[in-house]
Amino acid sequence: ETGVTQTPRHLVMGMTNKKSLKCEQHLGHNAMYWYKQSAKKPLELMFVYSLEERVENNSVPSRFSPECPNSSHLFLHLHTLQPEDSALYLCASSHRGSSYEQYFGPGTRLTVT
């Protein structure tokens, strides 16, 4: 695998379900990000992790719970979501202390029914 990978690519879940999104970067980066892309809205940052420490939570509801066990992996745990949470969730990584040029994964398209 190269670059940034995300699984699953598509997810349909009910409002009472619990699921997790996974992101893995193979670029040797040390900062990782979750972004949300909703229809007709700009991409918006959700969380930033650096060296496994969360450094920003962009006013995201608690039904989204991130986890970064090491510098290569990032998870987004989902529970009791709402239909308006349906969106494309994108993971990105960059190298802290360098240019911060970000590279994105292919995204997980989430539908909440």
Partner 1 sequence: GIQVEQSPPDLILQEGANSTLRCNFSDSVNNLQWFHQNPWGQLINLFYIPSGTKQNGRLSATTVATERYSLLYISSSQTTDSGVYFCAVGGRGSTLGRLYFGRGTQLTVWP
Query: Of 77, 104, 82, 95, whose CA–CA distance to 6 is shortest?
Result: 104
Three-state secondary structure string covering 15-51? CCCEEEEEEEECCCCCEEEEEEECCCCCCEEEEEEEC
In the complex, least distance from residue 16 CB atom to partner 1, rounded to whole angstroms: 26
In the complex, least distance from residue 50 CB atom to partner 1, rounded to whole angstroms: 5
The phi and psi torsions of 17 (rounded to 5 degrees) equal -75, 165
Residue 70 binding partner 1, by CB under 8 A: no
- What is the size of the binding site for partner 1 (CB under 8 A)? 25
Q: Within positions 25 to 64, which residues make up the interface with partner 1, using CB under 8 A? A: 31, 33, 37, 42-45, 48, 50, 55-56
Point out which residues bind partner 1 (CB under 8 A): 31, 33, 37, 42-45, 48, 50, 55-56, 88, 90, 94, 96, 99-107, 109
